[in-house]
Structure 1
Amino acid sequence: MQAIYVQENELRSYCQRAFEAYGFSNQEAEIITDVLVTADLYGIETHGSQRLEMYRQHIQKGYIKVGRQPEIAFETPISAVVDGKQAMGQLVGKFGMELAITKAKQSGIGMVTVRNSNHYGIAGYYSNMALPHGLIGVSMTNSFPIVVPTYGRSPMMGTNPIAVSIAAEPTPFYLDIATSVAAVGKVEVCNKKGVDLPTGWGINEQGVDELNPKHLIDCVRSRMGGLYPLGGSQELFGSHKGYGLAVLVEFLTASLSQGTTANHVQESDVMGVGHYFMAIDPKLFGNPDEITRHWSKYLQELRDSEKALGQTRIYTHGEKEYETEAILCERGVPILPKTIEEMKQLAEQLNIEWNIAA
């Protein structure tokens, strides 16, 4: 299935008008749009414009409350608990990370845990917010239950990504990984493309590997089957490690905030997603410039180290995203035809102009 290339300005304009049509302010729509288009430009098609249909459903079902604003529920000089008030996840995420950054500037470190939010897009968007301030950024989130524990078949955790952003030359270190074998958005993309899943991505209601993406999605929705933790189905390949990392994210996002763990997310008319943000000032450990030089030297040594047979390059985290962004800003964002069709239908429903040349 060939993707259709859409210019960045056209995509931003469409998303901006769509979210304004839902009732978000111009500034709010701009924030939400920037998170989605950044994901598209990084080549993370699972969390960009293909998520528009999911957000439409969540707004219509009342999970996302347009017009709501997050509030601080508990606070110290270096920490805070934020109640998302069921607001749009991107707006809650920006609020939480900005609060962590403010505290880090004042006290050296800022930690913010969030309850009662919604899907917030790519975790790395928020960790990257720390970089212009000379800080280290961390971002995590739980979600609807999608991932099974090692040797289980009922989903109990979200894909629970962990993102970390650290200044470096020539490009920042940018790690943004799910603690599952794959993000559920990749299953959705396989479904749109009409291709089977790789063996070892997920388990069905019978307790065996599932290759049909549509059936695995149905299993997730019925909470009988789901994705494997990072490492797959068995301890032999490290399944217990991904499982443990996912549970750790549940603690930081849900238990610290006294919010909702993934297995209870979306049990009523409240989504209840939790987030965690941290910003760290490297001045706590010495001269930031010297720390960056030391870190950059190691990253370059990683790139220059001996390659495996047949390989020509070793990447450090973030290089692919930044290189992809430079290419797609010129070429346009690749969007699957089924997603384009969803976007056209949404434009009709919202009575907004369809401005995308596709």
Structure 2
Amino acid sequence: MPDTENLQDWRRLIDAAELTRFTTEALTTAGARPADAAVTAEVLVAADLGGVESHGVARLRRYVEGLRNGDINRFGVPETVTDAGSVCVIDAHNALGQPALCRAVDLATDRAREFGTSVVAVRRSNHMGIAGWFAERGARAGMFTMVSTNAVPQVAPMGTNEPMFGTNPFCYAVPTSGGTLCFDGASSTVSRGKLEQLDRLGKPMQSGWALGPDGQAALGAAETVTGLINRKGYALLPLGGGDQNHGGHKGSALGLFAELLCGPLAGARWSRHTYQGGEAGLGHFVFCLNLDALGDQEVIRTEVEQLAREVRGGVPVEAQTPVRIPGDRRRLVTEMRLTHGVPVLESVVADLNDLAEFVGIEPVSALTYET
């Protein structure tokens, strides 16, 4: 046990298998079907393994409570309601988002094998975790895969301080001869999950990330998170910020693009209306392009890997900081954490153990402490 009364900067190292076991059991006990619990746990733990703690097991409580109180339909089974060959639509029936989007990716890869390209949209879904997990699933099947989702309104388009868009990530992944190349990022300057993580750590947020009710820069992570959740006039800024000089119009356009794909085009609600009527209305979007339809897949994989090597080989601005491409850091962090354990904040461990007592399962077993 660390010799300090302030544990906010301490983390417990937890074996990834143990973290997955705990998360799966908590979801199953809360009412999720075993297969749905397993894929949801895999996505959450993958986020922690890759250093994206904002989308990891720290979010488990919202799933467990949603399943228990009926906000998430534990009986819902994703259903294909439109099948036009290379274009399909899945109704998630307000069930867990991860199983619905996993089914969408698998359907999209199957149809892209047949037709060369495919689109699968998902409607009436819930939060689905990190988009990169799903895009990489498609890439491992030999597809260039793009995934997006909308979310509750938190981002103010350039020119207003009213939240109208979700953080609306875009993600793409492509197979290479050395693995997968994957980018996963929000269309906002920062995600709410990042602010929640800063709040847990007691660290400040930066100016230019969010606005307060007065339209001025918000500077407190805790008050901004609370204001976003309670819709008290706080708003995140789009990628590029709140003015055109730094590209805020481009971030706004990307956020709108995601709303189009995952809202009206998917037959889902857009962000301002996602939770109207007492159930989730989130939309997801999957696009797959079969590399075999473009030419020799092995040649394409090799050339993508060569491109990646050339980018990494660029002269670094700072000699001690190598040039990276999307996914490099996450891959290195994952390898390290699979070997040594996943560092989980003490406050998150405490919340997990509260959940264990709430649903009646064994608490998560930690290995040791680190700072």
Taking structure 1 as the reference length, the TM-score comes to 0.97
Q: How large is the Cα RMSD of the aligned pairs?
A: 1.4
Q: Deviations over 1:199-232 (max 9, x none)?
A: 1111111111111112111221233221110111
Residue 306 of structure 1, CA deviation: 1.5
Contact 1:82-1:114 at 8 Å conserved across structures? yes
Residue 282 of structure 1, CA deviation: 1.2
Matches within 5 A, 1:227-306: 227-306=236-315
Q: Could you tell me how far apart the structure 1 residues matched to 2:252 and 2:11 are?
A: 34
1:251 is paired with a residue whose SS is helix
Question: Does 1:92 pair with 2:100?
Answer: yes
Contact 1:150-1:229 at 8 Å conserved across structures? yes
Contact 1:62-1:269 at 8 Å conserved across structures? no
1:186 is paired with a residue whose SS is helix
Residue 98 of structure 1, CA deviation: 1.0
2:251 is paired with a residue whose SS is helix
1:128 is paired with a residue whose SS is helix
1:289 is paired with a residue whose SS is helix
Residue 35 of structure 1, CA deviation: 0.6
1:129 is paired with a residue whose SS is helix
Question: Does 1:186 pair with 2:204?
Answer: no
User: One-letter code of the match for 1:349?
Assistant: F
1:110 is paired with a residue whose SS is strand
Match of 1:203 in 2: 211
Match of 1:64 in 2: 72
Question: Does 1:22 pair with 2:27?
Answer: no
> Please, which runs of 5 or more residues in structure 2 have no aligned partner?
1-8
Q: Could you tell me how far apart the structure 2 residues matched to 1:45 and 1:289 are?
A: 34
Contact 1:143-1:262 at 8 Å conserved across structures? yes
Question: Does 1:10 pair with 2:38?
Answer: no
Q: Could you tell me how far apart the structure 2 residues matched to 1:25 and 1:54 are?
A: 17
Question: Does 1:220 pair with 2:242?
Answer: no
Paired positions, count? 358
Instruction: Give % identity.
Output: 28
User: One-letter code of the match for 2:357?
Assistant: E
Alignment partner of 1:345 out of 329, 350, 354? 354
Residue 311 of structure 1, CA deviation: 4.4
Judging changes above 3 Å, is the alpha-carbon distance between structure 1 residues 61 and 226 closer, same or farther for their aligned structure 2 residues?
farther
Q: Deviations over 1:131-156 (max 9, x none)?
A: 22211111110011111111211111
User: One-letter code of the match for 1:265?
Assistant: T
> Please, which runs of 5 or more residues in structure 1 have no aligned partner?
none
User: One-letter code of the match for 1:45?
Assistant: E
User: One-letter code of the match for 1:293?
Assistant: T
Taking structure 2 as the reference length, the TM-score comes to 0.93
Contact 2:12-2:366 at 8 Å conserved across structures? no
Task: Flag as ranges the 4+ runs of structure 1 deviating above 6 A.
Answer: none
Q: Could you tell me how far apart the structure 2 residues matched to 1:7 and 1:222 are?
A: 35
2:263 is paired with a residue whose SS is helix
Contact 1:265-1:273 at 8 Å conserved across structures? yes
Contact 1:171-1:318 at 8 Å conserved across structures? no
